[in-house]
Amino acid sequence: MTISLSITTRGQGLYNITRELNKLVSEANVKDGLCTVFVQHTSASIIIQENADPAVQDDLHNWLNRLVAENDALYTHTDEGPDDMPAHIKSVLTATSIGIPVMDQRLALGIWQGVYLWEHRYHSHQRQVVVHISH
């Protein structure tokens, strides 16, 4: 089963999509298999991260923004605003796809893990996430 999810973001930050993915896995009726999650954009990421303490998400966001600064003199791709080239670099440093085992019709995530779309741009976007669930 392959399906595309449309995720609306409200600017930079992590958006938990675990519930939507577990629903798709359940509907696919796959007892044991693999769920591949892929974001079709070059300025957003897919990650697995802690889902209990929101401070972790804030810290990750702040750390990555410090690591990949805006307005670097080395950037030549600047037409789309000061957050665009840093967003591309952030997606390279994180991930655009992940694979998660499916066990008993659920994602085999740890108790404190969630799957997140990480928006790296300031403005809201409609992000397309392709999900493939296989036996």
Q: Please tell me what DSSP assigns to residue 53.
A: -
In whole angstroms, give the CA distance from residue 83 to residue 131.
27
pLDDT for 34? 98
- pLDDT at residue 111, rounded to an integer: 95
Q: How confident is the model at residue 43 (pLDDT cuts 50, 70, 90)?
A: very high
pLDDT at 85: 97
Backbone dihedral angles phi then psi of residue 125, each to the nearest 5 degrees: -140, 160
Mean predicted confidence (pLDDT) in 29-45: 97
Q: pLDDT-based confidence at 76, cuts 50/70/90?
A: very high
Split at pLDDT 50, 70, 90, the class of 104 is: very high
Arithmetic mean of pLDDT, 33-57: 97
Q: What is the largest CA-CA distance in the chain?
A: 51
pLDDT level of residue 10 (50, 70, 90 thresholds)? very high
Domains defined along the chain, listed by start: 2-134 (2.60.120.460)
* CA–CA distance, 61 with 7 (Å, rounded to integer): 19
Average confidence score pLDDT of the chain: 97
- C-beta of residue 21 within 8 angstroms of C-beta of residue 102: no
